[in-house]
Amino acid sequence: MKYDIKKFNDGQVTAKITEGGNLDLKIRGNSYQDLFTIAAVKEAWDAENAMHKNAVATLTILCLIGQRSDRRFHKAESFDLKVIANFINSMKFDKVSILHPHSPISLALIANSEMISHFQFVEKTFKVLGNPVLVSPDAGAYKTTHEIAEKLQADLVPSNKVRVNGAPEISIQGDVKGKECLIVDDLADGGRTFKFLAEALKSQGATKVFLYVTHAQFNYGFEELKESIDHVYCTNSFKDITDEFVTQYSVI
């Protein structure tokens, strides 16, 4: 299957199928624009395939927009992940694969969805660093990082984070004295979670602190992270980063 995308001067996006077959789309999915673009492709493909019911349409989303908004935070505010999931569901893909979603709610809300694990990227990082202690930064990350630690036969130090007026407060449940640590989490936004955690780990004797995040957004606070984190490992699911401080695994 092949298609063309055209953008009109007013911003409208239109798609044209130029070769038939199964539809296999892969997008960052970190913008509404990305979602509307594939909606145009899917609509055109559906029209072309109306007579070929055996053709299959799959979608891979690398960094789902709104994945953190997995609940209605306050009364009278929108539940944004639900809005996004409803839109994706309206496209009726046969399968939607999502790379390391923030929480299982994404998978619960999006029909025919499955998670693409971040295991391979953590494994690569773990091997490059040579057996660091894995650190899970909060309750949300604990379950998946625990599973990864078991597979890698790595030591795991859980820590917990509560946000007080938006600022993370950290507690560490384990001994990191004289050890190299690899924090494993799904995404970095402003990086404050990791800055505070790295400072806490180093104050408890960790010799080096590395960070793995699947979705390296770094919308702000990037330079500040260099003061407490020794190196960042991530995918390019959200954006490409060129910086000596960062090693990126390419997924798109």
Ligand X SMILES: O=P(O)(O)OC[C@H]1O[C@H](OP(=O)(O)OP(=O)(O)O)[C@H](O)[C@@H]1O
**Interior/surface letters 114-135, b for 16+ CB within 10 angstroms, e for the rest:** eebebeebbeebbeebeebbbb
For ligand X, the closer CB: 3 or 238: 238
Terminal alpha carbon distance of the chain = 18
Which of 123, 189, 199, 230 is in the footprint of ligand X by CB under 6 A?
189
Under 8 Å between Cβ of 188 and 218:
yes
The tokens describing 23, both together, are 């539809």
CB of residue 68 vs ligand X: minimum separation in angstroms? Answer: 4
Compute the distance between CA of residue 133 and CA of residue 197 in angstroms, rounded to an integer.
14
Which of 28, 118, 192, 231 is in the footprint of ligand X by CB under 6 A?
192
191 binds ligand X (CB under 6 A): yes
Provide the edge-to-edge strand list for the sheet that holds 113-116: 23-27, 57-61, 95-99, 113-116
Residue count (the chain):
252
Q: Which residues 6-65 are close enough to bind ligand X by CB under 6 A?
A: none
138 binds ligand X (CB under 6 A): yes
For ligand X, the closer CB: 6 or 163: 163
CB of residue 225 vs ligand X: minimum separation in angstroms? Answer: 9
Q: Which residues 91-120 are close enough to bind ligand X by CB under 6 A?
A: 102
66 binds ligand X (CB under 6 A): no
Which of 168, 239, 166, 236 has its CA nearest to residue 198? 168
187 binds ligand X (CB under 6 A): yes
Q: Which residues 148-177 are close enough to bind ligand X by CB under 6 A?
A: none
* Segment interacting with ligand X (CB under 6 A) among 77-85, 115-123, 137-145, 148-156: 137-145
Q: Which parts of this chain interact with ligand X (CB under 6 A)?
A: 68, 102, 137-138, 140, 185-193
